[in-house]
Structure 1
């Protein structure tokens, strides 16, 4: 009697949102979005939306960041994909607060520039 093996794929699919901070032309932003979607897909991440922010990134008080935070608060995404973590904000304190919020909501931040997931590490433990 021939036995048949059924293999079950254990690779989990992740759901995420992309975030692009840029004031470049629409064509260039489309290229960046396509690159982000392809990178996410190669890592088993399905991006539900790519948010584009053309405003100044000096702080996190921006409509695009509010939209990104709303996605995280819905509890339906696992990851936020950014070209650079500093696209979220260049203000270190605002960035720390955003990272703490993401961690509390169990949302990973993937930085394409660095090629890694980033996590907030409290200052008293030797982190930033």
Structure 2
């Protein structure tokens, strides 16, 4: 039986996750991190990765909530798709699955991922 889950992330414990919870529906399991998206070393992300099975779907409010590093973002989406897991980014209206290869969606993922990485660099500076 496939699961529908939501991944939520904010950069610090004092930030509000309320906006991201708008995509959560009854019965969805939520994985929530309160740490930087500059690394994939995150407790809830690790739990999500272990939880997922073929046929599952992961919903994420926006691309920058999944990762603030383009290579990490692409790696995570590829990892999930190789497991047979679909990834849905709501703000950008993009869906990635193992049985759907869409060159325009991949380009948009790369553009939005690069912007997220740039924003993080500017915040860090």
TM-score, normalised by the number of residues in structure 2 = 0.65
Matched, 1:70 2:50: yes
Question: What is the root-mean-square deviation in Å for CA atoms of aligned residues?
Answer: 3.1
* Runs (5+) with no aligned partner, structure 1: 1-12
How many residue pairs get aligned? The number is: 103
The runs of at least 4 aligned residues of structure 1 exceeding 4 Å deviation read none
Aligned residue number for residue 80 of structure 1: 58
Matched, 1:91 2:69: yes
If you compute each CA radius of gyration, which structure gives the higher value, 1 or 2?
Answer: 1
CA contact (8 A) 2:5 2:59 kept: yes
CA contact (8 A) 2:84 2:97 kept: no
Aligned residue number for residue 114 of structure 2: none
CA contact (8 A) 1:102 1:108 kept: yes
TM-score, normalised by the number of residues in structure 1 = 0.64
* Runs (5+) with no aligned partner, structure 2: 111-125
Once the two structures are TM-superposed, the CA of residue 118 in structure 1 deviates from its matched residue by: 2.9
Deviation string 1:15-56 (CA, Å, 9 cap, x unpaired) is 211011124768x435632x1124xx7xxxx51x11111101
More helix by percentage: 2
